[in-house]
Structure 1
Amino acid sequence: MKAAQFSRFGGPEVLEIVDLPDPHPAPGQIRIVVHAAGINATDCKLRSGLLSFGAGLPQTTGRDVAGIVDELGEGVTDVAIGERVFGVSDDGAGAAELALLTYRAPIPPPLGFVDAAGLPVALETATRSLDQLGVGRGTRLLINGAAGGIGSTAVQLAIARGARVIGTASVANHGYLRLFGAEPATYGEGMSERVRALAPDGLDAALDVAGSGVLAELIDLAGGPENVVTLADFDGAKQHGVRFSSGFQGHAFHALGEIGALIAAGRFWLPVERTYPLDEIAKAHRISEHGHVRGRLVLVIG
């Protein structure tokens, strides 16, 4: 099969398309013919060497995938060959013609492969973060960096739980956040004052998606470090006593199978901004790292 791989750490130029042996599922796994694969910030950090899960070189890449089941591992009874599924590729090898999945769910009927491939990591990460913060009905929540894939996912999931959401973003993205039901505030100097003007009675929780060095402000706005979770500022989390969440460690996946009802009700939508063929994965990584992307970037493979 053809797959994206890198043999050294570095910029997007280290990615190459190679021929690898076809994988086969172990017990509990399924294999899919990949039709689309999402691009995530984690993929870029692993490729650059800024993040490591202990894997050596060369490494494959890609976690979000959607496709059609074509092989079942021993003991798998929840899906059938020919079924459309989406999920998280085992071993981060989703940018390929074939992928193995343990954590998966049927694609909700309203979605095609491209839209489904943009969801899994953002959906699971946002869900776990809201769980950690105890977000529910009546929660006053600030999301720093609300216009990206994880941010806009968290906005919609929090509102579906009955929370009031203020989201920071550039002025150009304020209308976009209003579409999801959030109250926008501009980030940068004076952010705290702008947020307080919207919520003079204070906030209950804050989620930092952007990692823009504002944890001290979020702690002050949310009433203490215990009310703040960051997905992007590991050093700041240690410095300020804030919880850092990768979104995955120590949790069982559960959001994939629950999102269909919100989609069917018209209460969840995560736009795909651009698509690329597999052989343009380096371009997609470059845009992911340096562009101001709303929604998701997705590779179209099959």
Structure 2
Amino acid sequence: MARAVRFDEYGEIDVLEVRDVARPQPGPGEVLVRVRAAGINPGENAIRLGVFRDVWPATFPSGQGSDLAGVVEEVGPDVPTWSAGDQVIGWVDTRASHAELVVVPAEHLVRRDPAVPWEVGGALFVAGTTAHAAVAAVGAGPGDTVVVAGAAGGVGSLAVQLARRAGATVIGLASERNHAWLAEHGVIPVSHGEGVADRVRAAAPAGIDAFVDTFGSGYVDLALELGVAPDRTNTIIDFAAAARTGVKAEGMSGSATAEVLGELAKLVAAGELEVPVAATYALTDVRAAYEDLMRRRTRGKIVLRP
């Protein structure tokens, strides 16, 4: 037996439970991983609420979670790449990583460098590949000035760093308590809220070239107000605004590969990419973890530790 998060119906956070489930068994091309850390993400909250039931319906009882870092416990047939005891970072597409044990396709794993903390490795895949894809979607590069909304969040905190690495000047929209962190990472901090358009213009008198929206709540319209072209504006959350305005709404799919995950992990290990971890929770405290996440005030990621 093993402990895992489950829910039996769409609903609020209180439908989440931690239960004893049968020990998973790896099949051909799969490995069984004992999870040391697993990030939580806003998309999982939306799935549990039933927001995407027409696109990604749940089969009940449903598990939860994509990100993970852990230790290989058992190897299925036809897996020459991994052995029991290997430390790994990866993901699943089966909504299953919020658990003590999870079966993972062998090709969804990369080796964990000891310089990558467990919490960071377990929170890297979704936020990291989404940030990577968002920066690529707007074509951020040398000479560009890029605005990132939600610049201190799980995806935003990585997007600002990746845009800087691409050579862009980056303006980060965030609350004042996050301004020092942004400045330490070479980002020009600007407070969100009323008057933000004027503050952005003052920070970038030559204009804005690209805009990454990780927060929603009207930032697509702000990008257009600032004169950013629709094909250089990308939102990862406000799909209605994207449909209305023609801006991009590219998620992580273009970057959701082990190759990109490995690149990001190497940057973390080398100290060239910081993945802020706002809080860690025991698996049994999964409800509290999601309550914290949905306040939308954390810097970086929230992580479960089975």
Question: Does the alignment reach a TM-score above 0.5?
Answer: yes
Partner of 1:8: 9
Q: CA offset at residue 251 of structure 1? A: 5.4
Q: 2:132 aligns with which of 127, 130, 136?
A: 127
Moved more, 251-260 or 15-24: 251-260
Q: How many residues align?
A: 301
Partner of 2:303: 298
Q: CA offset at residue 155 of structure 1? A: 0.9
Partner of 2:92: 89
Partner of 1:37: 38
Answer yes or no: is the 8 Å Cα contact 1:222–1:228 preserved in 2.
Answer: no
Q: CA offset at residue 222 of structure 1? A: 4.9
Answer yes or no: is the 8 Å Cα contact 2:282–2:305 preserved in 1.
Answer: yes
**Using the alignment, how far apart are the partners of 1:164 and 1:222 within structure 2?**
17
CA deviations on 1:186-218 (whole Å, 9 max, x unpaired) are: 112211111111111112211000012121221
AA aligned to 2:97 is G
Distance 1:36 1:7, change over 3 A: same
RMSD, aligned α-carbons: 1.7
Q: CA offset at residue 60 of structure 1? A: 0.5
Q: CA offset at residue 250 of structure 1? A: 8.7
Q: 1:234 aligns with which of 234, 239, 249?
A: 239
Distance 1:220 1:77, change over 3 A: farther
Using the size of structure 1 for normalisation, the TM-score is 0.94
AA aligned to 1:281 is V
Give the gaps of 5 or more residues in structure 1: none
**Using the alignment, how far apart are the partners of 2:100 and 2:256 within structure 1?**
28
AA aligned to 2:22 is P
Partner of 1:76: 79
Q: CA offset at residue 66 of structure 1? A: 0.7
Distance 1:73 1:133, change over 3 A: farther
AA aligned to 2:39 is G
Q: Aligned runs of 1:1-302 on 2, under 5 Å?
A: 1-52=2-53, 53-102=56-105, 103-248=108-253, 252-301=257-306
AA aligned to 1:228 is T
**Using the alignment, how far apart are the partners of 1:270 and 1:134 within structure 2?**
22
Give the fraction of aligned pairs with identical amino acids, expressed as a percent.
Answer: 37
**Using the alignment, how far apart are the partners of 1:178 and 1:57 within structure 2?**
45
The SS at the match of 2:104 is: strand
The SS at the match of 2:127 is: helix
Distance 1:77 1:164, change over 3 A: farther
**Using the alignment, how far apart are the partners of 1:261 and 1:60 within structure 2?**
30
The SS at the match of 1:255 is: helix
Q: CA offset at residue 7 of structure 1? A: 0.6
Give the gaps of 5 or more residues in structure 2: none
Answer yes or no: is the 8 Å Cα contact 1:206–1:222 preserved in 2.
Answer: no
AA aligned to 2:144 is T
